[in-house]
Structure 1
Amino acid sequence: MPLHTDPSSTYLHRFYSSRMVVLSYYRQEPSGTAEHTRLLSRLSDIPGGSVEKLKLETCFYVLTSDKDISKEDEEKLLWIFGKSFQEEKLGKESFLAQEVSNDKLLLEIGPRLNFSTAFSTNAVSICQSVGLNKISRIEKSLRHLISFTEATTVTPEFEACISSKLHDRMTHCRYTEAVQDFGLNVTPDDVFEVDILGEGRSALERANKELGLAFDDWDLDYYTSLFTDKIKRNPTSVECFDLAQSNSEHSRHWFFRGRLVIDEQEHEKSLFKMVMSTQDHTNNNNVIKFSDNSSAIEGFDVRTFSA
């Protein structure tokens, strides 16, 4: 469901914040790498300013219950974050902060914090393998220090234009300040009834648009009839979300499993049957086929050596 910011912290968030702390570590990134070149290319056609130089650093945000991390544990952490023979390019203070001036722009881009990234899962697993058991999450952002070829007026609109070229809004966002915790401080919208009994299909059409349910005409007709004639009550907004997910093409494969008619002639196999037929006789090693998006193959005996 849609989320909105709640200015008052919940009990869970207060508990979460009081027990955990976020540590920050910074790593200088070299120029001339494929990533550096790619980002420079993206910034090459910014309207209203020309980029002269781009410097990068990675910031690691570490969520831990150990507010006073020991020197030994911190050395392990720095070893994990560092690159070989570049120990001097990793520290607890930002390298780029020392170079910020009025004619330069510092932008930090990182993953959206409403879910742990795959990077975090792997990084935490590595930490646990070396005995850093008090660390529960690690996320990393990329900080960009941008210099311009001539005097440039940096407006909020100009910053937004540059920021949009540096990240995918679906998975990443701009950090306007350092991450202090991973609590979202959000509460769900209130649950409400969709008044199908009183307004008919138009009520469901409005909910479909406002909630982004992606119901098509068939869905709108079917659910209007279902709640009006059979269930005889109004659905809640939560139920509408559930229906939208449960009966989506992703879950049900309506079109993939549907009848295939080309030039008014129905074909024997649906699209899904065509895909499944590739494994009917050609791959006897495949013992589970198209079962809940999973599969399995036959194994074989191997000799192992154990000291």
Structure 2
Amino acid sequence: MFIVAGAPAHSSFKKAQLLTRLSSISSVQTFDSQWVYLFDQALDEQQHQSALQLLNDGTSFELRQVANDELQVLVTPRIGTISPWSSKATDIFKNCNTPVHRLERGILYTLKGVSELSNEVKQALHDRMTETIFSQIEDAHRLFLETAPKPLNSIDILGEGKQALIKANNEFGFALSEQEIDYLTQAFTDLGRNPNDIELMMFAQANSEHCRHKIFGSEWTIDGEKQPLSLFQMIKNTYKESPDEVLSAYKDNASVIVGYDTQRFYPKKDNETGHFIYKYKSQAAHILMKVETHNHPTAISPFAGAATGSGGEIRDEG
């Protein structure tokens, strides 16, 4: 493993914010944070210089040394996973003629005032669902270990029924609802075979309600009476009943309503001279209202899941 030290990981504002939280739950007096870049292979001098250019704008940093009254820990992506940052950074290195097999990044925390980490401090420093804490920076080589895949685990629905799936749901964190558990129990009973853990995890993620489309598109029965409209249809019914001033609705995650005339300032080519002349021109400026349904992420990685909503906004409005 090859280590490249980076710049401070937190702005002064973010650092003060985190220190306030740490001070309220522990005896932490102050802390430093630093980006650390980890390569799964040794770098020669040319590769090292390229890495400094790509990661640190050419600046060379030193790893923060730890004093006797300080505690140092490294927070990285979770062992056994490859972070989105790693995938993108690896591609960038290859495209810049500095091919590497894999690199990851982490944050090196140096804490003053504590000799060991409490569970509360660990929770403040990392997300246990997506990250790992190392007490020794050298232990981060475990990020790059390639182990043989574990064998499939079969969930004995045929033998134990619904209880087997309830137990697996708690053990593996599938986050299946009671209705989904009933559905899967019946489905695999009808198939005459037991599901494996990979099938259930794939179902849980593919069927997760990160967009709420399933709930909003479902048929509703309230007090034994089937409702005529789904939630989506109820929302769209407002447009059906009152379409005035609406130019477009429920198309491409957006709608457009009638705006107002305004003066647009832009260049127009003069056919005689060939020059571009800036002029005002009166045009209608309609109002766009954007929605994005990727805003309720999965149970595994809420922040990365929510980022899909931000990405959708950037994609659609760009």
Task: State the Cα deviation string for residues 95-150 of structure 1 (Å, max 9, x = none).
Answer: x22xx233111122122243333333443344334322x124332211122223xx
SS of the aligned residue for 2:121 comes to: helix
Q: Distance in 1 between matches of 2:219 and 2:158?
A: 34
Residue identity opposite 1:162 in structure 2: V
Select which of 174, 191, 200 maps to 1:231: 191
* Residue 56 of structure 1 pairs with residue 21 of structure 2: no
Task: State the Cα deviation string for residues 264-298 of structure 1 (Å, max 9, x = none).
Answer: 876544223456677997438957999x989998x
Per the TM alignment, residue 215 of structure 1 is displaced from its structure 2 partner at its CA by: 4.0
* Residue 139 of structure 1 pairs with residue 104 of structure 2: yes
Per the TM alignment, residue 31 of structure 1 is displaced from its structure 2 partner at its CA by: 8.3
When the two structures are superposed, what TM-score results if normalisation uses the length of structure 2? 0.61
Q: Is the 8 A contact 1:194 1:237 kept in 2?
A: yes
Q: Is the 8 A contact 1:261 1:267 kept in 2?
A: yes
Per the TM alignment, residue 180 of structure 1 is displaced from its structure 2 partner at its CA by: 2.5
Superposition RMSD on alpha carbons, in Å? 4.3
Task: State the Cα deviation string for residues 37-74 of structure 1 (Å, max 9, x = none).
Answer: 22222212133x241x322322111345xx452x3443
Residue identity opposite 1:254 in structure 2: K
The structure-2 alpha-carbon separation of the partners of 1:33 and 1:187, relative to structure 1 and needing over 3 Å to count, comes to: same
* Residue 191 of structure 1 pairs with residue 170 of structure 2: no
Q: Distance in 2 between matches of 1:32 and 1:250?
A: 31
Q: Distance in 2 between matches of 1:258 and 1:176?
A: 48
Q: Distance in 1 between matches of 2:55 and 2:183?
A: 54
Q: Quick one: percent identity of the two aligned structures? A: 25
Residue identity opposite 1:141 in structure 2: G
Match of 2:55 in 1: 81
Q: Distance in 2 between matches of 1:32 and 1:233?
A: 54
The structure-2 alpha-carbon separation of the partners of 1:38 and 1:72, relative to structure 1 and needing over 3 Å to count, comes to: same
Q: Distance in 1 between matches of 2:202 and 2:218?
A: 23
Unaligned runs of 5+ in 1: 1-21, 298-307
Q: Distance in 2 between matches of 1:275 and 1:119?
A: 38
Unaligned runs of 5+ in 2: 255-290, 295-311
Q: Distance in 1 between matches of 2:154 and 2:112?
A: 53
When the two structures are superposed, what TM-score results if normalisation uses the length of structure 1? 0.63
* Residue 283 of structure 1 pairs with residue 248 of structure 2: yes
Per the TM alignment, residue 251 of structure 1 is displaced from its structure 2 partner at its CA by: 8.9
Which structure carries more relative contact order (alpha carbon 8 Å, separation 6+)? 1
Matched residue pairs, number?
256
Q: Distance in 2 between matches of 1:250 and 1:56?
A: 33
Q: Distance in 1 between matches of 2:85 and 2:129?
A: 17
* Residue 257 of structure 1 pairs with residue 223 of structure 2: no
